[in-house]
Amino acid sequence: MLAAFSQSVHDGWMLKQRHAMHGQQTLYIEQKALRIDNEHEGISYIANAVSGKVTVVNSAKKVCCTIAIDRFHNRLMQIVSGAGSDDDLPSFHWNPTKKTTDSGPGHAEWYKATGIYHGMGEQSGYLSGKPYTQQSSYQLLISRDVLICNTLSKLLAEIQCTPDLHGVPLREITQYGPKDRQRINLITQELKPIKISAERWKVLQSYRTVDSINEVTSGDSGLLNQFLGK
């Protein structure tokens, strides 16, 4: 499969990030095209806003599934939301803030939200252990150099478990507890403009097409077990 681009090389961006739940990942971004390679899960997401489709690929199993972007839902985000975890960032009200330190690479804007965190014992996982409630604050850094269309920024937010602020998230920080403990849930290690080859948007024809994303992602229980504290 190859996205419908007229040229073989395009202007875009490459980001290397570490996500608290997804681990190490590399993103390739054009305004209307997005690819995320997740090293921990071994899963790639390849999306094209022109076609309105996203393909989820498992290179180890050599299988893929293509669905409409507006039908894509992150099961992990749904679990987090249902648990009332502080990682349910989209449910909060976000406002721009003037942060004087750590302004981030290039032109970027900080946003802040506050809320009540209904959590579980951290020593045993997000969903296990003794429940507790506390005031928390959240900060999110959004790039304004990396242009991305609204369709793909919404998809990226769904995958990253972040609010959709019409841009690419670069960093997310949670402060919680009476001592303002800090947890960095998303950090960008590298950001640079690159020429993106059309090969980046291709799925090998030898890969078997399946009907469900679950068939692509099944078998990787490590992330979910870690999330559940198992």
- Tell me the domain boundaries of the chain: 9-228
Stretch 41-60: mean pLDDT: 94
Taking CA atoms, 205 is separated from 57, 194, 198, 208, in Å, by 12, 26, 15, 8
> What are 146-200's pLDDT values in tens digits?
999 999 999 999 999 899 999 999 999 988 776 778 889 999 999 999 999 999 9
Q: Give pLDDT, residue 6.
A: 38
> What are 55-75's pLDDT values in tens digits?
999 999 999 999 999 999 876
Query: What is the CATH code for 9-228?
Result: 2.50.20.10
> What are 80-97's pLDDT values in tens digits?
444 444 457 888 889 998
Give me the phi and psi of 93, to 5 degrees please: -95, 120
Q: Give pLDDT, residue 32.
A: 96
- pLDDT reading at 12 higher than 80: yes
